[in-house]
Structure 1
Amino acid sequence: MFTALRKMLREWRGLQAFKRIPREERTLVFYSEGRGYWTYFEPIYKALQAGHEAPILYVTSAENDPLLEKPLPGMRSFYIGEGSMRTLFFATLDADVLLMTMPDLQSFHIKRSPFSVHYVYLHHSIVSTHMIYRAAAFDHFDSILCVGPHHVQETRAREQQLGLPQKALIEHGYGRLDTILDSGRQGPPDRNGEPVQVLVAPTWGENGLIERHGLDVIKPLIDAGLRVVLRPHPRTRKLHPEILDKIAAYYVNEPRFRLDEDADATTSLLDSDIMLSDWSGAALEFSLGLERPIIFADVPRKVLNPEYAVLGIEPIEVQAREHLGVVVTTDKLAQLGNIADTMAADSKKWQTALNDARQCWIYNSGQSGETAAAYLISLIKQ
């Protein structure tokens, strides 16, 4: 009880500290729903500081967010939690511009403020807007920083279909992808005689690869002599910890298996030859950023909008499968080891095609931060 009270008091103090900031200094606010989301904001923050020296008010729901203890230059940070103080923060927000990665604004308890705030949505996945998100997920934003042409096409189609006012759609790109590209690690990693490493990075939910198949996904890879890094979605840990604990216990003495639950997990990404995924947006990041192929397990689609087909546009994550790797039906999971070995041997052949796909599907590769920063500054100066 006392722990909960102390937490609420800390959140209340964070909200009050934000409100004490003079209104003329509340020009640009970043809202982060968790500590793992900074990777999407970071390229924009860097561009804002380098090109515009723009101050940032950083508001986070993550109690352990490192930017609370050590804010970056030009940043003031505030903790509001994810309960009643967050709801109050949104309901009373008075600022010029709010940048956020959380969809469903206005649909549930997180509402638009009565003040004239400009709400900008920052995509935290390359995937399409109309299948794995709720139907109205983006309807109430003023601007959307679009990853590629698919986001523009989908958003405009929905606006036209429902008679919604047009939002400002910015040809932005994808900062997370730019960070991966900056690593210079494109193509197959140098193995130095070590076994091929497979990164298992599925999405979450009742149809998620780990939720449905658990050990049956990992075992064929380990049995084939490969190294495996399992990077579950944080929601899998929250909703089905027993599945992850069972896998970890089974391979507790296996040096070729590792469970990676780091919020960033960049090292696992860079060091892996192949990714095994399902409908996770991480597959597109891996493939388009590192130019390495994907094994897609053909579990049922992740669908939060059952009427997505009405839009008449095939989601990019469905289109991408035939371009980024191979699809394996779930009755052939036992063959995953052989499939991964074969794909790793042919990895060089994938590079050109994956580079071409990135140029076609993603805006402003390598420059998304500068594009977003210039747009946000233009909103402040209006």
Structure 2
Amino acid sequence: MIHLHFNPLYIDPGTGSMLFSILIGAAATLYFLLRAVIIKVKVFFSGGRAAVSNTLYPYVIYSEGKQYWNVFKPVVEEFETRQQELLYLTSSEDDPVFENTYHFIKSEFIGEGNKAYARLNIISANFVLMTTPSLNVYQLKRSKSVNHYSHVLHMPSDATTYRLFGLDYFDSVLLTGDYQAKDIRILEKQRSLPEKQLITVGCTYLDVYAEKIKQLPIEDTHPFTVLVSPSWGASGLLKHYGERLLDPLAESGWRIIVRPHPQSKKSEADMLETLAKRYSTNPNVQWDYERENIYSLSRADIMISDFSGIIFDFMFLCDKPVIYVSQDMDLRPYDADDVPDELWQFRILREIGIELKEEQFKTMAEVIKNASKSTLLQNARLDAKNTAWQYRGEAGKRIADFMTKTVK
């Protein structure tokens, strides 16, 4: 007979992590249920006047902020060219859409966070396009008066790198490349969801950047330039390695441009301030906080990054090499954790980039020089570009075509 011994005072790390996740999930669910009850009570005592919007809009775009303008700009301009009316709702008071004089585009600032969601949750529209994930998961709900919700991917990397259930409740997802469809279909089968429309349209913001880069002045002569452009969070390059990575670069004599992830400025301000002070007397080290990344991309000869999507911007737009520092990314909070296969972006990175290990930091100059000369990497970059960025230059037109076809 086998005797099992159980220690009631011991919880293994895996079980503890699972219990913690369950408690957090339960607390979040209770919070949003209570919020929903409060809203319904308010609607009841207002006579139901807030139930739906009175105006039915044929086409609506919602932008979380001005950083997404280049994602939507080609679509907006296509509607303007076609003389079709479109409502553009934004959570940025200084959204670039307000700088343009459009005749068929109505733009409106609707506030941020819950204020914006309150408007969106009762809107009436035939078609709503957004980059915001997690529809019908948290505060952002499907309005009963919207016929079709569509999510447009704003990165050429895997579609499953959103938080759990990020794309589950959309009617369609607009892809940058055909390869992104496979993992979405896997999740639909796992979760017994109806199949969404998956339409490959290309990548709008890369189309915009490709045109902008052509207009940028070319530096006739410039020092060899290394762009350090990581993601943010505990697994991000700057947070994890910091001065251990930057010290050897600062001592190289090359021009070093450090472009932190936009979220780092909000979530890791103390860390950035400490690093900025450390290199404040080194004229070779520059910091870039511009809204658009193309200025740094165009000046760099090589990039050092981690798992940030800017890797693909750099390679696809500038056709220059990338060195990546591998750092384990905890996929448990993301849809990717439910997909059995390795993410495309992780697999392809080994083919198109060169891994830099921490023990190589002090001699990284040699690694960087070798990466700059590799024709093998150049061919791999082109293959990846053809896979992940299809229909180059056509995304705005293809999205507008799909929107109008769906409504008709």
The equivalences for 1:222-233 within 5 A come to 222-233=250-261
> Which among 33, 55, 64 is matched to residue 85 of structure 2?
55
Matching residue's letter, 2:188: E
1:154 matched residue in structure 2: 183
The superposition leaves residues 213-262 of structure 1 with CA deviations (integer Å, 9 ceiling, x where unpaired) of: 22223222221121111111111110110111122222223332221111
Q: CA deviation at 1:178?
A: 2.1
Residue aligned with 2:328, SS: coil
1:203 matched residue in structure 2: 231
The superposition leaves residues 197-225 of structure 1 with CA deviations (integer Å, 9 ceiling, x where unpaired) of: 11211111111111112222322222112
CA–CA separation in structure 2 for the residues paired with 1:307 and 1:78: 32
Q: CA deviation at 1:348?
A: 5.8
- Say if 1:291 and 1:350, in contact at 8 Å, map to a contact too: no
**Are 1:182 and 2:211 matched, yes or no?**
yes
Range with greater deviation from structure 2 (293-302 or 139-148): 293-302
Q: 1:306 to 1:31 in 2, by over 3 A?
A: closer
Q: CA deviation at 1:192?
A: 4.2
**Are 1:247 and 2:275 matched, yes or no?**
yes
2:383 matched residue in structure 1: 356
CA–CA separation in structure 1 for the residues paired with 2:378 and 2:290: 28
- Say if 2:177 and 2:200, in contact at 8 Å, map to a contact too: yes
**Are 1:121 and 2:151 matched, yes or no?**
yes
* TM-score calculated relative to the size of structure 1: 0.85
The superposition leaves residues 318-352 of structure 1 with CA deviations (integer Å, 9 ceiling, x where unpaired) of: 112122211112333333333223323x1666433
- Say if 1:172 and 1:363, in contact at 8 Å, map to a contact too: yes
Where structure 1 has 5 or more consecutive residues not aligned to the other structure, the ranges are 1-18
Q: 1:357 to 1:87 in 2, by over 3 A?
A: closer
Matching residue's letter, 1:360: T
* TM-score calculated relative to the size of structure 2: 0.80
- Say if 2:179 and 2:387, in contact at 8 Å, map to a contact too: no
Residue aligned with 1:124, SS: coil
**Are 1:219 and 2:252 matched, yes or no?**
no
- Say if 1:104 and 1:138, in contact at 8 Å, map to a contact too: yes
CA–CA separation in structure 1 for the residues paired with 2:334 and 2:289: 30
Matching residue's letter, 2:159: T
> Which among 274, 280, 294 is matched to residue 266 of structure 1?
294
1:29 matched residue in structure 2: 60
- Say if 2:153 and 2:159, in contact at 8 Å, map to a contact too: no
Q: 1:302 to 1:61 in 2, by over 3 A?
A: farther
Q: CA deviation at 1:22?
A: 7.5
**Are 1:41 and 2:41 matched, yes or no?**
no
- Say if 1:180 and 1:290, in contact at 8 Å, map to a contact too: no
2:137 matched residue in structure 1: 107
- Say if 2:129 and 2:150, in contact at 8 Å, map to a contact too: yes
**Are 1:296 and 2:324 matched, yes or no?**
yes
Where structure 2 has 5 or more consecutive residues not aligned to the other structure, the ranges are 1-50
CA–CA separation in structure 2 for the residues paired with 1:243 and 1:29: 39
The superposition leaves residues 112-137 of structure 1 with CA deviations (integer Å, 9 ceiling, x where unpaired) of: 1121331110111122123x322210
Residue aligned with 1:169, SS: strand
CA–CA separation in structure 2 for the residues paired with 1:369 and 1:302: 34
1:374 matched residue in structure 2: 401
Higher relative contact order (CA 8 A, sep 6+): 1
Which of structures 1 and 2 has the bigger CA Rg? 2
1:11 matched residue in structure 2: none
CA–CA separation in structure 2 for the residues paired with 1:234 and 1:364: 28
Root-mean-square deviation (Å): 2.6
Residue aligned with 1:27, SS: strand
The superposition leaves residues 33-89 of structure 1 with CA deviations (integer Å, 9 ceiling, x where unpaired) of: 121111111222233333x22232111112332334545453222112223321211
2:310 matched residue in structure 1: 282
- Say if 2:175 and 2:200, in contact at 8 Å, map to a contact too: yes
CA–CA separation in structure 2 for the residues paired with 1:160 and 1:56: 34
- Say if 1:125 and 1:281, in contact at 8 Å, map to a contact too: yes
CA–CA separation in structure 1 for the residues paired with 2:128 and 2:346: 31
Residue aligned with 1:144, SS: strand
The superposition leaves residues 147-197 of structure 1 with CA deviations (integer Å, 9 ceiling, x where unpaired) of: 112211111111122221010100111122223433576xxx976442211
Q: 1:349 to 1:48 in 2, by over 3 A?
A: farther
Q: 1:310 to 1:104 in 2, by over 3 A?
A: closer
Residue aligned with 2:146, SS: coil
Q: 1:353 to 1:27 in 2, by over 3 A?
A: same
CA–CA separation in structure 2 for the residues paired with 1:259 and 1:216: 17
Residue aligned with 1:77, SS: strand
- Say if 1:102 and 1:121, in contact at 8 Å, map to a contact too: yes
Residue aligned with 1:95, SS: strand
